[in-house]
A and B are shown apart, each in its own frame.
Chain A
Amino acid sequence: MSDSTNHRNDHWWRHLVMWVAISIAVLPPLYVVTAAFNSDQTLSGSSLIPRSLTLENFKGLFVQKEGGAEVFFVRWFRASVIIAVLNAFFTVFIGALSAYAFSRFRFRGRRMGMLFLLLIQMFPGLLNLVAIYLIVLRTGEVIPALGLNKLTALLVVYLSGAMSVNLWLMKGFFDSIPAELDESARVDGATPAQIFWGVILPLAVPVLSVVGMFAFVGTLNEFITASVLLETVDNFTLPLGLQSYIGTNFEENWGSFAAGVLIAQIPAIIGFIFVQKYIISGLTQGSVKG
């Protein structure tokens, strides 16, 4: 870029914009922080400063109270992270495969297929879960690992959207990778699979990172599908487990819930820090010399 070497980009107004945006972005989450350290167990709407500070809410996630319910927080956390990593990985993989096909091959039904995949996501999913439950139930009778109360089944259900949800985003990005690169590889004798792995994917790292990030964070927060498929508390994912702190009418342990949510953000933040350099890398340097 022409003006990349000097500090003209470091205008004060850019920083100002950033800080305004950030303060709007983090204000509600700050209330979650407050609630996590508040002994009142309310999601206080009126005060950012807790009435009394406590670490009890965090302690309660790890240590079983006298006569209280057993705590599974660590298990929930582990299950969530594992399933989020796997879902992110496979979503990227499956999505990239499909996007590559739609970007690089010309076949009958291609345009209609793309449109179909876009529209199919618009079906209000309110009632689909009943069917998903039944499908998983029946599948479980044949392949136990894909049955109810199995994290593998949940993963597979999550992956059902891998193809459609990010198809347009990925395909758009793939389209912007110059076809000449494929062409020269093909001349060198590369197969489509080799072009996919060797040319397209390495250049598509930014979009793969974005999609992976979406899938990762989305899984960490997903509640409804998990609540239908997972049945016993020792098998829950984190959002599902935390929900039990606030599931009862009025007896809501917002403090413990908020503390759990805060801890649950750690993988999301680590994930983001990990991928953010890839989001920006890739094409900036390599973009179109040919």
Chain B
Amino acid sequence: MKKHLAKFVAGLTVAAFAALSMPTASGAATTLRIWADADRKASVEKVAGAWGKKNGVTVTVVQKDFGKIRDDLKTVDVATAPDVIVGAHDWVGELAANGSVIPLTVSKSVAAKIPSYSLDAFSYANAKGNKVLYGAPVALENVGLVVNTKVAKVPTSFDDMVSQALAFQKKATGNFGLVIPGGDAYHNYPLFSGLCGYVFGKDAKGNLNSSDVGVGNAKLLDNASQIDSWNKSGLLSSKVDYGIAKNAFLAGKAAFWVTGPWEKDTLDKSGLKVQIVQMPKNKCDSVPFLGVQGFMVTKFAKTHGVESQARDLVGSYMMSAGAQTQLSSENGRAPANTDAAAKITDPLLKQFAAAGKGGVPMPNIPEMSSVWGDLGTAWTNVFKGADATPAKSAFRTAGKNIVAKIG
């Protein structure tokens, strides 16, 4: 028995040592925690840090994968939860329905400097159908038609674009006319909108209406034969993926490329002469999807007792021209604030911004998760070459499926 006693004594000794090494409880300090992705972390640190210095607040920026910011917000523990997040506008519906982010109000003077579509993008209708703002739009991104001006001219019309593309394609084997990642509903949206397709219609109050699905709408179906002809002529193929499209364009083997400002550095370094425009009008305006990035205040700011601070940072400071100019120059995106936007000097960034004119913010209602898959599948199926599904039936099926999935 003595031996056993000795073991317990030894155990208790270890316990005592463990107790001694106990970390001191982390005291609540005057800190504000922000979640940002790797690309934006440094710039957010700088800009939010400047605000913090002014207000006597320490700002901690925690790096998260962009998509995980949205996912982790559901499960995060209060103790380590963020007060402010960087996010995309199309998360807003889900985050608002989950009560993860809190409504903001902005003064008219602030709102006057931010285009209303980007404020709308960060808004979600409440029970009364009023738009409630949940975030500060900071940066805009959209795809444009990148023209390799060495081998093609900026197209004057949609038909001109098609004929130039086909002509270049025929010039040499391995040449591409127009490259768009296959089966990708986002990059193909200019084609889709150009044929009068839309995802969700709007109700009387201007809010997105999930029961009005425009993926298989009559006008689009009427125009769908154009898609079949692009497939037949080999203008577009779903076998061209993002990497193939990019490599082809950078190698000078594609006349036109649909891509966005995230490739600005690549284009700058490529040595190619390019110009970026909106895809020319087809049956309707060939507008791209708009993505708006911004800052949101989480419900945890309340529990942490930093709600007013967080609202100040997001609702007024981040909306200002000064902050947005700096964020824009660090991240290579057009700022939302119009004063800041007027100051952009980078030619490509300016052209990308211009290519987004009239664009449609990606729908931010949670029902959008029912759309991406089927819309993408439709694009895959219509550009399969010889085995392609006729566009009319592909988009009709996609529309039907989406309605069924929304339920």
Contacts and interface: CB of A to CB of B under 8 A. Distances in A.
Interface of A: 40-47, 51, 67-69, 130, 133-134, 137, 144, 148-149, 227, 231-233, 243-245, 247-251
Contact of A42 (B38, B39, B243): B243
A247 B37 contact: yes
Contacts of A40: 246-247, 250
Contact of B243 (A43, A68, A69, A247): A43
Contacts of B330: 67
B37 A248 contact: yes
Interface residues of B, number: 30
Contact of B38 (A51, A148, A244): A244
10 contacts: A42-B246, A44-B247, A46-B247, A51-B250, A69-B63, A244-B63, A248-B262, A250-B242, A250-B259, A251-B39
Given A69-B42, A243-B65, A247-B66, A137 B77 contact: yes
Contact of A51 (B67, B251, B263): B251
Contacts of A148: 77, 80
Q: Most A CB atoms within 10 A — which of B66, B243, B262?
A: B243
Nearest to A233: B63
A42 B42 CA distance: 24
Contact of A41 (B23, B62, B266): B266
A29 B22 CA distance: 46
Nearest to A251: B262
B10 interface: no
Complex A-B, nearest 6 residue pairs according to Cβ-Cβ distance, in ascending order: A247-B65, A42-B243, A251-B262, A233-B63, A244-B38, A250-B262
Contacts of B63: 69, 232-233, 244
A83 B330 CA distance: 36
Nearest to B38: A244
Nearest to B62: A232
A69 B75 contact: no
Interface in B18-45: 22-23, 37-39, 41-42
Interface SS majority for chain A: loop
Nearest to B242: A250
B244 A46 contact: yes
Contact of A67 (B42, B260, B263): B42
A247 B65 CA distance: 6
Contacts of B66: 247-249
A248 B75 contact: no
Given A144-B23, A233-B63, A45 B243 contact: yes
Interface string B58-96: 000011011110000001010010000000000000000
Interface in B216-262: 241-244, 246-247, 250-251, 259-260, 262
Given A247-B66, A248-B66, A69 B41 contact: yes
Nearest to A231: B80
A119 B378 CA distance: 39
Q: Most B CB atoms within 10 A — which of A51, A67, A251?
A: A251
Contacts of B77: 137, 148
Contacts of B251: 51
Given A69-B42, A130-B75, A244-B65, A42 B247 contact: yes
A155 B41 CA distance: 28
Contacts of A134: 75
B243 A44 contact: yes
Contact of B244 (A45, A130, A232): A45
A114 to B, nearest CB: 32
Interface string B338-360: 00000000000000000000000
A13 B65 CA distance: 49
A45 B23 contact: no
A142 to B, nearest CB: 11
A41 B270 CA distance: 12
Contacts of B68: 227, 247
A244 to B, nearest CB: 4
Contacts of B263: 250
Nearest to B67: A247
A137 B41 CA distance: 25
B333 to A, nearest CB: 11
Nearest to A247: B65
A53 to B, nearest CB: 15
Nearest to A245: B38
Nearest to B23: A144
Contacts of A43: 243
A44 B241 CA distance: 10
Q: Most B CB atoms within 10 A — which of A134, A144, A250?
A: A250
Nearest to A47: B247
Nearest to A227: B68
Q: Most B CB atoms within 10 A — which of A41, A148, A149, A248?
A: A248
A150 to B, nearest CB: 11
A149 B377 CA distance: 39
